[in-house]
Each structure stands twice: as structure tokens, then as C-alpha cells.
């Protein structure tokens, strides 16, 4: 940066539509052009901690030897070691894997559990881990799964991945790198695995251990009945645990439960026995109980981390368009804020659900879900799935571009992917949320699914299908292929002009994005000219203060700056800012982004002190609204430090960069391009400050 003015960030994304209206989103995270990816003599990256596990098993007995064997087989190595826990459903494979992870978590820098049953849900899960590791902070970066594998290869601490309920072995290959100090635990009913995976059969419980466990939970000491109950359940840990919970809660004698189970079992069999143990507990809830209604909703969700409080907010009515029979049941569940609490207590008492102590989510075993749904006929199952989809849709934030919505979307994502139809607006909103957070590849995959579904449901020329096609183009560009995005937008524009008309809101949004992607293909002059023409149309059709018009004005100013006219862009942003303050509010993301870009243009136009002061005024607002360690706030600190130096205070710039560096290393990652730039900036401004101090 010797003598140069380096303005970071401020790339504008207009890549989504909501009911035909453009959503312009500034992405002003740190982007530093033409920097080396490494600095000679730099130290190794610091440890980064990332942990995500399901609830710890509460009553894991008889697995001490198996856990010891798993631990002994994992050794220090530069190549990932894989162990596969195989066995029937209900044998407790997941419980063993999760318990191992909890016991040895301190030995690993990363401990992360993936629900690997559905391959299409992995993109979002991979993105969550990548976000924790700071791998999503550079928009347009390469494949997120590839970036994650690269990170794991170079990790300086051992890491542990738990891949739960794997059906397709290709999932394992996608997640596990070729090298790195990693341990991998896979749970699966598959018994045949290629490669160097060590396969371990998870056996049924030792009979004596299971009998002792049943006796410890019962109110009577009938060892003979306990033995016969264990035999009837086939020694499967989950079935034994369920029976013990029933005995513990109801106070019934073992023989009573055994008689009840025998009556339910029409044909002996291990799988049938497991199902009926839960049917016995479900029967205790009552056919018209709120707990049973809640259980049916949970049975339709993904099995892990179900956000009950989001699905059933206090005093919220039953969503619209729910079938009458189910709506009546849900109405009884949401009578008041205590009804859901009482239902959760009942489900926990019978061990039908589990929940960690540090959040508001619950988990439910897949076999409990199956037993719950099998008790319904096909039509009833469809009605409960439809109702659950409505609950999830209602909980999904309507503004996925706002960072405040991203944690909610992250919690809902697995349930959206499993329950919500691909063609629904909620599904596209989730895709956008993933993309805005930084995982453009996952957003693109979801947008493509939605587009295919909408073409089948609504027709290829429907507004719904065209909207999804627009999202596909947008996220194609955000994955780094701006040329393909522009070409897709050109094709889409021709169709929309023919079907919808040249001034339909969707057509104008597509023109908006065509101008944007034209600029991203390194033609800033053409982008500026297209936005100039489009602005006059928006002002005439929608009015000068419509959000779409303001978005177009922001883009026009942005590409004016990119075309080399920093002073002209400065004046445009300065005129736009008070309108954004009044129409959108002073803390709206677009308003803050406008202030950020104005500061940069002021500096680029030659007023370094003015840029410094504008960044100084913006920083405390961002820190309050989005948090002091949000990448956007860190970008502002970076630019504040830079313009402090450009304004003549080399020592101040040096000190600001030195204070910022350890925060960015921790939040963004040791090898993030902005972090690399900060190290160079510290060296540069240290040298400048020393030259000033010299006599």
C-alpha cells in the first residue's frame, strides 16, 4: 500500500427477488485485491475451536468396553482415521459415537456432528462449520466443502467428525480430506465399506447389564420378569431405555409392562419389539393429549435440534391453511404458553425426546418418529406433514439478507430442507439466507432444486419458476462465475419481457441484475450506463423513494466509483444518504452500507481526513447494531485505520492495525486475505512512523 489508497470491500449484491421486488444487499466484507496468500516467515495459524454435538446420552450403560476400543484405535496420524459403528436401528450407534465425542472433546480442536442421512442437507451443515472456522468471509470463494477439506488438512490440532446415520458412502468421501490429523466416527446400518475404514459392530446389550438397568428403574424387584422383558426387546438399548422410562414414570410393575407389550406384539421380532416399546409409551400420552399432538409435529421434522419455541411462539395462533382435523389438535396445543411446556415435560418423562441443557431445541430418535407416524394412516400423515411445513414456514424469517436472521435460519435449515416443498417461497428464503451468510454454493444448489420443482408445479414460464431461475443466476455469480450469471440473466430478461412486459417489477429487477453482473464481468462503464437508464424508469414507474429505486441509486453510485469517478460517486452517495435515513431508518443495513461506501469514496476522491472521520462515526453504530466482531464492523475498523494513516497519522494507523489483527485472526481466520493485508499494513505503517520519528 506504499503511497496508494486501498479501499476495501463495498461490493454490492443485488441477487434476489421478493414478490417481484429487488432486494439490494451490500456485502462490504473485507476484500483486498492483488495480495499474496502468505507472508514469508509467518507463524502457523492459531488454534480455532468449533464444537457442535447433539444431546449427551443420559443413560448409557454397558458400552464401556466399546468406548475404550474406539478410543484405543484412534492414534496420532497425518492421515484421517475412520471407524464405522454398524448395527440395527435402535442398537445405540449414535449414542456411542456422541458419548465418545463428549468424553474426548478436549483432545480435539474441532468436534462436529453431521446428520448425514440426507445428502441434500449437507451443504448447509458444511457451511455452518465453515462459518465457525472463518472460511465464508470471502464471497466468491471456491467450493465450501473443498475449502473445509483444505482447512482440515492443514489443521494444527486433531479434529473429530461424527457422520451420523450414513446411507450413501459418497457422503464420507465428500467430507473427509486425503490428509490431516483427523478422526472420523461414522454410524450406519451398512456393513460393507471400502478403503481403510475400521468397521465395528455395535452389539445388543449384555443381558445381565440390561436386566440390572430395568430393575434399577422399576418399583419392584422381579428379576425373572425383567429378564423376560429384556429378551422380548431383543436387548436393544433404545428399547430397554424406553421400557425403563415407562416403568420409572408410571410406577407400574415389570410384569404389567411385559403383558402390555406382549399384547401389542402380533409377530415376534426385534424391529417390531422396538416399535411397540414406544407405542406403549405413546399410548400413555392419551389419544387427545397436547403431548401427542406435539410428538406428531416432531415426528415430521428432522430428528435433531428441533426449535420448538420457534415453531410454537407464545400466544401464536394455528397457521392458516392447516387441515381442519389437525388445526383443531394444534389449537389445543397452543391454548397458552404453558401447554407446550407441559407437553414437553410429558415427552421427556417417557424418554420420547431428549434435549441439551444449554439451548431450546429437542431431539427425537428416528425410530420414535417412525413409530409415531406408523400409527397414522397415509392421509393423516400427509396432513401432519403439511401442518408442520406451515409451522416451519411461519418461523422462517422474511428478510434473509439481515444478519440478525441468520442464526434462526441456521436452526431451521435442516427442517426446511426435509419438510418444506422445494417450490415454496420459504425454501428460497432459506437458500438466500445461506448465500448471504457466505455459502453461495449451498444457496445455488437449493435454488436449482426450487427452480426444477417450480417448473413442474407451476410451469416453466410461470412467475414462480422465473423467480427461482433468477435466484439460480444470482447465486451462480456469487460462486465466482459472473460471466455465466450475466448470460443467464440475459436469457431470463428476454423471456420476462415477452411474458410479463418490459416494465413489470420482475422484468425491471432482472434488468437491474443484468447491469450489476455486467459490472462484475469487469465492464464498470457499461454497468454505470445501464443503471443510469434503469433509474429513470424506476423513478417514473415506482417513484423516487421506492426501495427498488433507492437500490438502483446505490448501484449507480457504486459503479460510478468503479468506473473511476470517485468524486461523482461521493456526491451521489451523499445525496442518497439522508433519503435512506428517512425512508429506511438510520440503522438499516442499506443505510449503513451507504454510509460505508460514502466514506470510501470521500477518501478515494482525495479527502483522507474526511474518510477517517466518516468511518469513525460509522463504527460505533455498526458495533451496536451487528456486534463488534461482525466482519462488516471489522471492515470498517480496517478502513478507519487505513485512512488514519493516509491522513498523516502513521503511528495511529500502526497501533489501530496492531489492535485489530488478533481479533481478525480469531474471527476471520489466520490466512484470510484481509488478515494478510493487516500484517502488511502493520509493517508498512511501522516503517512510515519510524521515518517520521527520525531526526
Q: Is the model's pLDDT at 319 over the cut of 70?
A: yes
What's the rounded Cα separation, in Å, for the pair 646 and 652?
A: 10
Q: What is the mean pLDDT of residues 548-559?
A: 94
Q: Give backbone dihedrals phi and psi of 201, rounded to 5 degrees, phi first.
A: -80, 130
Q: Is the model's pLDDT at 314 over the cut of 80?
A: yes
Residue bearing cell 410454537: 312
Q: What is the mean pLDDT of residues 518-539?
A: 94
| Digit-coded pLDDT (tens) for 622-641 | 999 888 888 789 999 999 99
Q: Give backbone dihedrals phi and psi of 663, rounded to 5 degrees, phi first.
A: -65, -45
Q: Which three cell numbers stand for residue 66?
A: 466399546
Q: Is the model's pLDDT at 92 over the cut of 80?
A: yes
Task: Please tell me the predicted confidence (pLDDT) of residue 398.
Answer: 87
Q: Is the model's pLDDT at 668 over the cut of 60?
A: yes
Q: Is the model's pLDDT at 286 over the cut of 80?
A: no
Task: Please tell me the predicted confidence (pLDDT) of residue 671.
Answer: 64
Concatenate the DSSP letters of all residues of 524-549 into one string.
HHHHHHHHHHHHHHHHHHT-TTSHHH
Closest CA to 24 of 533, 559, 451: 559
Which range, of 91-100, 227-236, 507-516, 564-573, averages the lowest pLDDT? 227-236
Task: Please tell me the predicted confidence (pLDDT) of residue 256.
Answer: 84
What's the rounded Cα separation, in Å, for the pair 499 and 89?
A: 52
Closest CA to 150 of 172, 131, 175: 175
| Digit-coded pLDDT (tens) for 164-201 | 988 887 888 888 888 889 999 999 887 777 777 888 88
Question: DSSP letter at 119?
Answer: G
Q: Is 268 left (phi over 0), alpha (psi -120 to 50) or beta?
A: beta
Closest CA to 430 of 416, 450, 449, 444: 416
What's the rounded Cα separation, in Å, for the pair 466 and 445?
A: 16
Q: Is the model's pLDDT at 357 over the cut of 60?
A: no
Concatenate the DSSP letters of all residues of 561-584 into one string.
HHTT-HHHHHHHHHHHHHHHHHHT
- Taking each continuous run of H as one helix and of E as one strand, the counts in the chain are 30, 10
Q: Is the model's pLDDT at 271 over the cut of 70?
A: no
Contact criterion met (CB below 8 Å) for 237 and 333: no
Burial class (CB in 10 A: 0-12, 13-18, 19+), 608: buried
Q: Is the dihedral of CA 529, 531, 537, 540 positive or negative?
A: negative
Task: Please tell me the predicted confidence (pLDDT) of residue 226.
Answer: 86
Q: Which residue has the higher pLDDT, 91 or 264?
A: 91
* Structural element, H or E, at residue 14: strand 11-18
Q: Is the model's pLDDT at 36 over the cut of 60?
A: no
Q: Is the model's pLDDT at 46 over the cut of 50?
A: no
Task: Please tell me the predicted confidence (pLDDT) of residue 674.
Answer: 77
| Digit-coded pLDDT (tens) for 381-405 | 999 999 999 999 999 998 887 777 8
Residue bearing cell 429487477: 509
Q: Give backbone dihedrals phi and psi of 27, rounded to 5 degrees, phi first.
A: -115, 90
Q: Give backbone dihedrals phi and psi of 13, rounded to 5 degrees, phi first.
A: -110, 125
Q: Which residue has the higher pLDDT, 59 or 342?
A: 342
Q: Which residue has the higher pLDDT, 121 or 582?
A: 582
What's the rounded Cα separation, in Å, for the pair 230 and 243?
A: 9
What's the rounded Cα separation, in Å, for the pair 352 and 340?
A: 15
Q: What is the mean pLDDT of residues 562-566?
A: 94
Q: Which residue has the higher pLDDT, 19 or 661?
A: 661
Residue bearing cell 404453558: 338
Contact criterion met (CB below 8 Å) for 330 and 318: yes
pLDDT band at residue 453 under the 50/70/90 scheme: very high
Q: Is 20 helix (H, G, I), strand (E, B) or coil?
A: coil
Question: Residues with Cβ < 8 Å from 387, sequence gap 6 or more?
Answer: 297, 319, 322, 323, 326, 327, 330
Which range, of 248-257, 314-323, 602-611, averages the lowest pLDDT? 248-257
Task: Please tell me the predicted confidence (pLDDT) of residue 261.
Answer: 72
Q: Is the model's pLDDT at 15 over the cut of 80?
A: no
Q: Is 162 helix (H, G, I), strand (E, B) or coil?
A: strand
Contact criterion met (CB below 8 Å) for 124 and 414: yes
pLDDT band at residue 645 under the 50/70/90 scheme: very high
Q: What is the mean pLDDT of the chain?
A: 83
Task: Please tell me the predicted confidence (pLDDT) of residue 370.
Answer: 82
Concatenate the DSSP letters of all residues of 583-633 into one string.
HT-TTSHHHHHHHHHHHHHHHHTT-HHHHHHHHHHHHHHHHHHT-TTSHHH
pLDDT band at residue 692 under the 50/70/90 scheme: low
| Digit-coded pLDDT (tens) for 55-90 | 888 778 888 889 999 999 998 888 899 999 987 777
Residue bearing cell 472460511: 135
Whole-prediction pTM value? Answer: 0.72
Q: Which three cell numbers stand for residue 626?
A: 451487528
Q: Is the model's pLDDT at 40 over the cut of 90?
A: no
Amino acid at each position: 500500500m506504499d503511497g496508494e489508497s486501498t479501499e476495501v470491500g463495498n461490493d454490492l449484491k443485488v441477487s434476489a427477488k421478493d414478490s417481484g421486488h429487488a432486494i439490494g444487499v451490500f456485502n462490504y466484507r473485507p476484500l483486498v485485491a492483488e495480495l499474496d496468500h502468505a507472508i514469508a516467515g509467518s507463524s502457523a495459524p492459531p488454534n480455532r475451536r468449533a464444537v457442535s454435538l447433539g444431546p449427551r446420552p443420559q443413560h448409557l450403560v454397558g458400552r464401556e468396553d466399546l468406548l475404550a476400543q474406539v478410543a484405543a484405535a484412534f492414534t496420532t496420524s497425518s492421515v484421517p482415521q475412520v471407524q464405522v459403528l454398524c448395527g440395527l436401528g435402535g442398537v445405540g450407534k449414535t449414542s456411542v459415537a456422541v458419548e465418545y465425542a463428549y468424553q474426548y472433546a478436549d483432545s480435539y480442536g474441532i468436534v462436529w456432528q453431521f446428520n448425514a442421512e440426507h445428502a441434500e442437507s449437507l451443504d448447509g451443515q458444511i457451511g455452518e462449520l465453515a462459518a465457525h472456522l472463518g472460511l465464508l468471509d470471502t464471497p466468491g470463494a471456491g467450493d465450501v466443502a473443498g475449502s473445509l477439506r483444505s482447512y482440515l488438512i492443514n489443521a494444527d490440532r486433531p479434529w473429530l467428525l461424527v457422520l451420523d446415520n450414513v446411507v450413501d458412502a459418497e457422503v464420507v468421501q465428500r467430507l473427509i480430506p486425503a490428509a490431516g490429523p483427523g478422526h472420523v466416527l461414522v454410524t450406519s446400518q451398512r456393513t460393507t465399506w471400502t478403503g481403510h475404514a475400521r468397521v465395528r459392530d455395535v452389539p445388543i446389550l449384555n443381558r445381565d447389564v440390561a436386566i440390572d438397568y430395568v430393575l434399577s428403574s422399576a418399583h419392584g424387584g422381579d428379576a425373572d420378569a425383567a429378564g423376560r422383558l429384556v429378551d422380548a426387546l431383543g436387548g436393544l438399548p433404545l428399547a430397554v431405555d424406553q421400557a425403563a422410562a415407562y416403568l420409572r414414570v408410571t410406577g407400574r410393575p415389570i410384569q404389567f409392562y411385559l403383558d402390555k407389550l406382549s399384547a401389542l406384539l402380533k409377530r415376534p421380532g426385534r424391529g417390531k419389539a422396538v416399535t411397540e416399546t414406544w407405542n406403549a409409551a405413546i399410548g400413555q400420552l392419551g389419544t387427545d393429549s397436547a403431548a401427542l399432538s406435539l410428538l406428531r409435529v416432531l415426528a415430521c421434522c428432522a430428528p435433531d435440534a428441533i426449535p420448538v419455541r420457534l415453531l410454537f411462539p407464545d400466544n401464536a395462533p394455528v397457521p392458516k391453511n392447516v387441515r381442519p382435523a389437525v388445526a383443531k389438535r394444534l389449537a389445543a396445543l397452543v391454548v397458552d404458553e404453558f401447554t407446550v411446556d407441559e407437553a414437553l415435560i410429558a415427552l421427556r418423562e417417557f424418554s420420547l425426546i431428549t434435549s441439551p441443557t444449554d439451548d431450546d431445541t429437542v431431539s427425537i430418535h428416528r425410530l420414535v418418529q417412525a413409530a409415531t407416524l406408523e400409527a397414522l394412516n397415509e392421509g393423516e400423515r400427509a396432513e401432519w406433514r403439511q401442518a408442520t411445513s406451515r409451522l416451519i414456514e411461519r418461523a422462517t424469517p422474511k428478510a434473509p439478507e439481515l444478519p440478525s436472521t441468520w442464526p434462526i435460519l441456521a436452526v431451521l435449515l435442516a427442517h426446511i430442507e426435509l419438510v418444506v416443498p422445494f417450490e415454496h417461497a420459504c425454501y428460497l428464503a432459506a437458500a438466500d439466507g445461506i448465500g448471504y451468510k457466505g455459502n453461495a454454493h449451498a444457496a445455488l444448489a437449493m435454488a436449482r432444486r426450487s427452480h426444477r420443482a417450480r417448473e413442474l408445479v407451476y410451469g416453466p414460464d410461470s412467475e414462480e419458476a422465473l423467480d427461482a431461475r433468477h435466484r439460480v443466476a444470482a447465486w451462480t455469480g456469487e460462486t465466482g462465475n459472473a460471466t455465466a450469471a450475466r448470460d443467464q440473466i440475459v436469457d431470463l430478461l428476454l423471456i420476462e419481457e415477452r411474458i410479463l412486459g418490459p416494465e413489470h417489477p420482475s422484468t425491471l429487477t432482472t434488468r437491474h441484475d443484468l447491469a450489476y453482473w455486467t459490472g462484475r464481468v469487469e465492464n464498470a462503464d457499461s454497468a454505470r450506463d445501464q443503471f443510469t437508464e434503469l433509474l429513470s424508469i424506476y423513478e417514473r414507474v415506482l417513484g423516487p423513494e421506492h426501495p427498488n429505486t433507492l437500490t438502483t441509486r446505490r448501484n449507480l453510485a457504486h459503479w460510478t466509483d468503479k468506473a473511476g469517478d470517485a468524486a461523482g460517486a461521493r456526491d451521489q452517495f451523499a445525496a442518497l444518504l439522508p433519503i435512506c435515513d428517512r425512508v429506511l431508518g438510520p440503522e438499516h443495513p442499506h443505510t449503513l452500507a451507504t454510509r460505508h461506501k460514502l466514506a470510501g469514496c470521500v477518501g478515494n476522491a482525495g479527502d483522507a481526513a474526511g474518510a477517517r472521520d466518516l468511518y469513525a462515526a460509522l463504527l460505533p453504530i455498526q458495533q451496536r447494531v451487528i456486534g463488534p466482531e461482525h466482519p462488516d464492523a471489522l471492515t470498517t475498523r480496517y478502513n478507519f485505520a487505513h485512512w488514519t494513516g493516509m491522513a498523516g497519522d502513521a503511528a495511529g494507523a500502526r497501533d489501530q492495525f496492531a489492535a485489530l489483527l488478533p481479533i481478525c485472526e480469531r474471527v476471520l481466520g489466520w490466512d484470510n486475505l484481509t488478515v494478510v493485508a493487516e500484517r502488511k499494513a502493520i509493517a508498512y505503517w511501522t516503517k512510515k512512523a519510524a521515518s517520521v520519528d527520525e531526526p
